[in-house]
């Protein structure tokens, strides 16, 4: 024996379940998917910057080494052969220290007074 009004109640339950499912999907997108898409752009620029920094540092170090080897002639030969390499190493060390210092430095956003 069927209870009167049951089909209308079932349609209401289906509608509530459909609304709840849509709410869960929208919330998941808002809290998980959208932030991940924002991070993708952030990481793309970070990886590109890191590659550019590494290439620039490597080529800069090689430039210093080769310039010292070529421009000093016979002055840095024999027991002083290590000097251009030490200069290149010191350049790389200072550039790396500066990069780390700028990365770890706190960011103070100061607005200009109106």
What residue segments make up the domains of the chain, in order of their start? 10-104
The rounded mean pLDDT for the chain is: 85
CA distance 51 to 84: 25
Distance of alpha carbon 56 from alpha carbon 51, whole angstroms = 8
Neighbours of 106 (CB within 10 A): 4
pTM of the predicted structure, to 2 decimals: 0.60
51-109 pLDDT, tens digit per residue, is: 999 999 999 999 999 999 999 988 888 899 999 999 999 999 999 999 889 888 877 76
DSSP secondary structure letters along 20-65: HHHHHHHHHIIIIIHHHHHHHHHHHHHHHHHHHHHHHHHHHHHHHH
């Amino acid at each position: 024996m069927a209870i009167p009004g049951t089909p209308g109640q079932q349609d209401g339950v289906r509608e509530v379940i459909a609304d709840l499912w849509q709410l869960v999907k929208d919330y998941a997108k808002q809290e998980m998917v959208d932030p991940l898409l924002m991070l993708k752009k952030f990481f793309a620029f970070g990886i590109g910057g890191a590659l550019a920094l590494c290439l620039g540092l490597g080529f800069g170090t090689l430039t210093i080494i080769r310039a010292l080897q070529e421009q000093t002639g016979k002055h840095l030969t024999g027991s002083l052969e290590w000097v251009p390499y030490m200069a290149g190493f010191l350049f790389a060390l200072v550039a790396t220290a500066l990069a780390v210092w700028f990365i770890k430095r706190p960011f103070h956003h100061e607005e200009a007074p109106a």
